[in-house]
Amino acid sequence: VLGANGENKVLTAGCYTGQEHQVVDINNGLIRMTSTHPLMTTKGWSALDVVEAKKLQADDMEIIPLVEGLELVMGDGDPVVIDTLHTSTGVATVYTIKVNNDHTYIANGIVTHNK
Protein backbone atom coordinates (compact mmCIF):
# COMPACT_ATOMS: atom_id res chain seq x y z
CA VAL A 1 0.00 0.00 0.00
CA LEU A 2 1.37 3.39 -0.98
CA GLY A 3 0.11 6.59 0.58
CA ALA A 4 -1.10 9.02 -2.05
CA ASN A 5 1.13 11.66 -0.47
CA GLY A 6 4.01 9.19 -0.13
CA GLU A 7 3.93 9.45 3.66
CA ASN A 8 0.84 7.55 4.85
CA LYS A 9 1.32 4.38 6.87
CA VAL A 10 -1.08 1.49 7.35
CA LEU A 11 -2.51 1.66 10.89
CA THR A 12 -4.86 -1.33 10.77
CA ALA A 13 -5.93 -4.00 8.31
CA GLY A 14 -8.92 -6.31 8.40
CA CYS A 15 -10.87 -8.91 6.52
CA TYR A 16 -14.62 -9.43 6.76
CA THR A 17 -16.35 -12.55 5.48
CA GLY A 18 -19.86 -13.91 5.38
CA GLN A 19 -21.66 -10.60 4.84
CA GLU A 20 -23.69 -9.56 1.83
CA HIS A 21 -22.36 -6.55 -0.11
CA GLN A 22 -22.99 -4.76 -3.35
CA VAL A 23 -19.73 -5.14 -5.25
CA VAL A 24 -18.51 -3.00 -8.15
CA ASP A 25 -16.11 -4.29 -10.82
CA ILE A 26 -14.50 -1.53 -12.90
CA ASN A 27 -13.00 -2.13 -16.35
CA ASN A 28 -13.22 -5.92 -16.10
CA GLY A 29 -11.02 -6.37 -13.04
CA LEU A 30 -8.99 -3.17 -12.85
CA ILE A 31 -10.45 -2.83 -9.37
CA ARG A 32 -13.20 -4.62 -7.46
CA MET A 33 -14.65 -2.98 -4.36
CA THR A 34 -17.79 -2.36 -2.34
CA SER A 35 -20.29 0.17 -3.67
CA THR A 36 -19.60 2.58 -0.77
CA HIS A 37 -15.86 2.88 -1.34
CA PRO A 38 -14.79 6.27 -2.78
CA LEU A 39 -12.28 6.55 -5.61
CA MET A 40 -10.64 9.75 -6.81
CA THR A 41 -11.81 10.83 -10.27
CA THR A 42 -10.91 13.92 -12.26
CA LYS A 43 -14.29 15.31 -11.07
CA GLY A 44 -13.66 14.55 -7.35
CA TRP A 45 -14.36 11.65 -4.99
CA SER A 46 -16.85 9.19 -6.42
CA ALA A 47 -18.73 6.09 -5.20
CA LEU A 48 -21.53 3.99 -6.63
CA ASP A 49 -23.68 4.30 -3.48
CA VAL A 50 -23.24 7.99 -2.66
CA VAL A 51 -25.71 8.06 0.26
CA GLU A 52 -24.07 5.19 2.15
CA ALA A 53 -20.55 6.34 1.23
CA LYS A 54 -21.21 9.75 2.79
CA LYS A 55 -22.32 8.04 6.03
CA LEU A 56 -18.97 6.24 6.19
CA GLN A 57 -16.73 9.22 5.41
CA ALA A 58 -16.03 12.63 6.93
CA ASP A 59 -19.06 14.94 6.99
CA ASP A 60 -17.43 17.48 4.68
CA MET A 61 -16.31 14.97 2.04
CA GLU A 62 -18.08 15.62 -1.26
CA ILE A 63 -18.89 12.40 -3.13
CA ILE A 64 -20.40 12.22 -6.61
CA PRO A 65 -21.96 9.19 -8.36
CA LEU A 66 -19.56 6.71 -9.90
CA VAL A 67 -20.59 6.22 -13.54
CA GLU A 68 -19.10 5.02 -16.80
CA GLY A 69 -17.21 7.79 -18.59
CA LEU A 70 -15.63 9.26 -15.45
CA GLU A 71 -11.84 9.24 -15.33
CA LEU A 72 -10.12 7.58 -12.37
CA VAL A 73 -7.00 9.31 -11.03
CA MET A 74 -4.08 6.92 -11.05
CA GLY A 75 -1.14 7.07 -8.65
CA ASP A 76 1.13 8.25 -11.46
CA GLY A 77 -1.28 11.11 -12.23
CA ASP A 78 -2.58 9.70 -15.51
CA PRO A 79 -6.37 9.34 -15.79
CA VAL A 80 -8.09 6.10 -16.84
CA VAL A 81 -11.62 6.22 -18.26
CA ILE A 82 -14.21 3.94 -16.64
CA ASP A 83 -15.34 1.96 -19.69
CA THR A 84 -17.29 -0.73 -17.86
CA LEU A 85 -18.89 -0.77 -14.45
CA HIS A 86 -20.60 -3.99 -13.34
CA THR A 87 -22.37 -4.54 -10.03
CA SER A 88 -23.43 -7.66 -8.20
CA THR A 89 -24.84 -8.39 -4.77
CA GLY A 90 -23.91 -11.36 -2.66
CA VAL A 91 -21.70 -12.67 0.10
CA ALA A 92 -18.21 -11.30 -0.46
CA THR A 93 -14.90 -11.17 1.36
CA VAL A 94 -14.01 -7.54 2.02
CA TYR A 95 -10.53 -6.31 2.92
CA THR A 96 -10.12 -2.98 4.63
CA ILE A 97 -7.22 -0.84 5.76
CA LYS A 98 -6.92 2.37 7.69
CA VAL A 99 -4.06 4.74 6.92
CA ASN A 100 -2.97 7.81 8.84
CA ASN A 101 -2.91 11.46 7.76
CA ASP A 102 -5.50 12.16 5.06
CA HIS A 103 -6.63 8.50 4.75
CA THR A 104 -5.81 8.54 1.03
CA TYR A 105 -3.77 5.76 -0.53
CA ILE A 106 -3.09 3.99 -3.81
CA ALA A 107 -4.69 0.58 -4.43
CA ASN A 108 -4.15 -1.26 -7.69
CA GLY A 109 -2.65 1.96 -9.01
CA ILE A 110 -5.81 4.00 -8.25
CA VAL A 111 -6.07 6.85 -5.72
CA THR A 112 -8.65 5.81 -3.13
CA HIS A 113 -9.85 6.77 0.34
CA ASN A 114 -10.80 5.03 3.56
CA LYS A 115 -11.91 6.77 6.74
Residue type for 68, please?
E
Please tell me which residue, 112 or 20, carries the higher pLDDT value. Answer: 20
> How far apart, in whole angstroms, are the C-alpha atoms of residue 4 and residue 98?
13
What are 24's strand-pairing partners? Answer: 33, 87
Q: Report strand pairing: 2-3 vs 10-26.
A: unpaired
Question: Which tens digit of pLDDT belongs to each residue from 82-101?
Answer: 999 999 999 988 888 888 77
Q: Read off the pTM.
A: 0.84
Share of the chain above pLDDT 70, in %: 92
- What does the pLDDT average to over 47-69? 89
